[in-house]
Chains A and B, each alone.
Chain A
Amino acid sequence: MEDIIVLNNVWKKYNIGSSKKLTETISSFFSSTKEKNFWALKNISLEIKKGEVIGIIGPNGSGKSTLLKILSGISFPSKGYLSIDGKVASLLELGTGFHPELTGRENVYLYGAILGIDHKLIKHQFDQIIKFSGVGKFINTPLKHYSSGMYIRLAFSVVTHLDFDILLIDEVLAIGDAQFQKKSFAKIQEINKQNKTIIVVSHDLQNITKLCDKVILLKNGRIEKVGTALDTVNYYQKL
């Protein structure tokens, strides 16, 4: 099968001095040494094939989220080569762009547009999105009156019903109540059956093992191990 994602010696440098948010995320690395540049990713080379489900695990600050940001095209590598052959939907956070003053219905369309999905397609899938989310009659209520569970369910439902080749997920597996978790897990597996590529970042090793064909372990911005889900997770637990 063809490679849908190729990374060749990708490096990512952050300038620690100038960013507030960044210092938060990497504060664990920020020891007494006054280094101005921080390499969040070091020499990452990867090939991901169409239809694969890839898990990315590793301790906090190992570069998992940076890698997802680069794969989704939000950040760009400082060095190295990156090629992605397909439409990417990135779920770095559920409901990015949701606005509390707008109704559920308005937010579905807004969110779809933010993800770059055609209006007609959302319209076509609208009823299914609502049904899956279980939001029901609240669809015409402003989002600020939603419970956090309803909010998350609606966002997840929008993303997973839309058309893409590659789905990037950051720590959003464990959402909603137990029942919805089961449903969303099944949904991701169903998406994978349609030969879509899925990349999941998570600390939930149990779900990662169940879901992924291949798991990558990142540590200090480098790939520490690549292997089958069980192999890598076992290796990680022994670290």
Chain B
Amino acid sequence: MQDFVKIIKIWQYRQLLYFLTIKEIKVRYKQAFFGIAWAILTPLSQALVFAFIFGILLKTQINNIPYLLLVFSGFTFWNFFALSISSATSALTGNTNLVTKSTFPKEILVLASVFGRLPDLLASLTMLLIMLAFYQINFSMQLLWIIPMFAIEVILALGIGLFFAAANVYFRDITALVPLLLMLWLYLTPVVYSLSLIPKAYQFFISLNPMTGILEGVRGSLFLQKSPDISALILLMCISLTIFIINFILFKKLEKGFADII
């Protein structure tokens, strides 16, 4: 309970969170010629390569959704998740000075590193909507379901990010582990494929991954004008919140040692 109260403290430092987030974004794109365009170029190149291999060479077709769109939507949401976690992992170890010489609650650094990825997502999402129009897919109000889906994704990314950020202070192995873990996780998430492609016997295991539910929900609302199953949505939210709260409490417990260990 005592740790839980500390979540409120984040609110007192919202100004700092805002400045650190802006700093993350500004610093990332300063002196980069393509700037925010990287946020579109990255998933687009990923999608084109997969569309070439699976869409053209292997003629993969899923639910009549153009394969390029399917993969691009997958990477749009997956990249936010993966990049958030990798930024979060170095949020403390990359700011040693702030950890050892200032007193604000250190979860602010993790939050800023995740929120700093939002403009990338928005840019990529805009591109996705343009592609949707290009492929003449109907827009409907169901599209708005991507908002709660995305909220669940942010909470999940924050929870996992908090864990890796704190663990990385104690063991630098985490720096090497996280990219590997994210790569394996990508394969086990329907990013370049869809859940319907998985044999029934294995679908359950793939569904245990919260990112599966998020991506499937997003695609349903984007491409099939379908609202997600509400009970599944609530379950996903509960899972993400639980992961977040457990890791937040763990983070606050470990925080006391950060300045000494880092």
Residues of A near any B CB (own CB < 8 A):
14-15, 18-19, 21-22, 69, 72-76, 88, 90, 92-93, 96-97, 99, 101-102, 106, 109-110, 113-116, 118-119
Which residues from B are CB-within-8-Å of A114? Answer: 16, 98, 102, 104
Which residues from A are CB-within-8-Å of B259? Answer: 69, 74-75
Which residues from A are CB-within-8-Å of B20? Answer: 110, 113
CA distance A101 to B102 in the complex (A): 20
Task: Tell whether B59 is near chain A: CB-to-CB under 8 Å.
Answer: no
A93 near B101: Cβ-Cβ < 8 Å: yes
Contact among A74, A106, A109 for B101, CB-based, below 8 A: A74
B101 near A118: Cβ-Cβ < 8 Å: no
Task: Tell whether B23 is near chain A: CB-to-CB under 8 Å.
Answer: yes
CA distance A73 to B255 in the complex (A): 12
A22 near B260: Cβ-Cβ < 8 Å: yes
Task: Tell whether B103 is near chain A: CB-to-CB under 8 Å.
Answer: yes
**Smallest CB gap from A88: residue in B:** B103
Chain B, interface SS category: helix
A74 near B100: Cβ-Cβ < 8 Å: yes
Q: For window 31-53 of chain B, which residues contact chain A by CB distance below 8 Å?
A: 31
Contact among B15, B27, B30 for A118, CB-based, below 8 A: B15
B172 shortest CB reach to chain A, Å = 10
B120 shortest CB reach to chain A, Å = 18
Which residues from A are CB-within-8-Å of B8? Answer: none
A192 shortest CB reach to chain B, Å = 22
**Smallest CB gap from A72: residue in B:** B103
CA distance A115 to B16 in the complex (A): 9
Which residues from A are CB-within-8-Å of B97? Answer: 93, 96-97
Task: Tell whether B261 is near chain A: CB-to-CB under 8 Å.
Answer: yes
What mask results when residues 7 to 34 of chain B are scored 1 for a CB within 8 Å of chain A, else 0?
A: 0000001011011100100110011000
| Contacts A75-B260, A97-B97, A118-B15 supplied; 19 other A-B pairs, CB < 8 Å | A14-B260, A19-B261, A19-B262, A21-B96, A21-B100, A21-B262, A69-B259, A72-B103, A74-B259, A75-B259, A97-B98, A97-B102, A101-B31, A102-B27, A109-B19, A110-B19, A116-B13, A116-B16, A119-B15
Task: Tell whether B256 is near chain A: CB-to-CB under 8 Å.
Answer: yes
Which residues from B are CB-within-8-Å of A106? Answer: 19, 23
A101 near B16: Cβ-Cβ < 8 Å: no
Q: For window 123-162 of chain B, which residues contact chain A by CB distance below 8 Å?
A: none
Which residues from B are CB-within-8-Å of A88? Answer: 103
B113 shortest CB reach to chain A, Å = 14
**Smallest CB gap from A114: residue in B:** B102
**Smallest CB gap from B170: residue in A:** A18
A99 near B102: Cβ-Cβ < 8 Å: no
**Smallest CB gap from A103: residue in B:** B26
Which residues from B are CB-within-8-Å of A116? Answer: 13, 16, 103-104
7 tightest A-B CB contacts, nearest first: A113-B16, A96-B101, A92-B101, A110-B19, A74-B259, A119-B15, A101-B30
**Smallest CB gap from A93: residue in B:** B101
Sampled A-B contacts (29; CB under 8 Å): A14-B260, A15-B260, A19-B260, A19-B261, A19-B262, A69-B100, A69-B259, A72-B103, A73-B103, A74-B100, A74-B101, A76-B256, A88-B103, A90-B102, A90-B103, A92-B100, A93-B97, A96-B97, A97-B97, A97-B102, A101-B27, A102-B23, A110-B20, A113-B13, A113-B15, A113-B19, A113-B20, A114-B98, A116-B13
A53 shortest CB reach to chain B, Å = 21
Which residues from A are CB-within-8-Å of B96? Answer: 21
CA distance A119 to B15 in the complex (A): 7
**Smallest CB gap from A12: residue in B:** B260
A96 near B98: Cβ-Cβ < 8 Å: yes
Which residues from B are CB-within-8-Å of A96? Answer: 97-98, 101-102
CA distance A160 to B260 in the complex (A): 27
Which residues from B are CB-within-8-Å of A76? Answer: 256
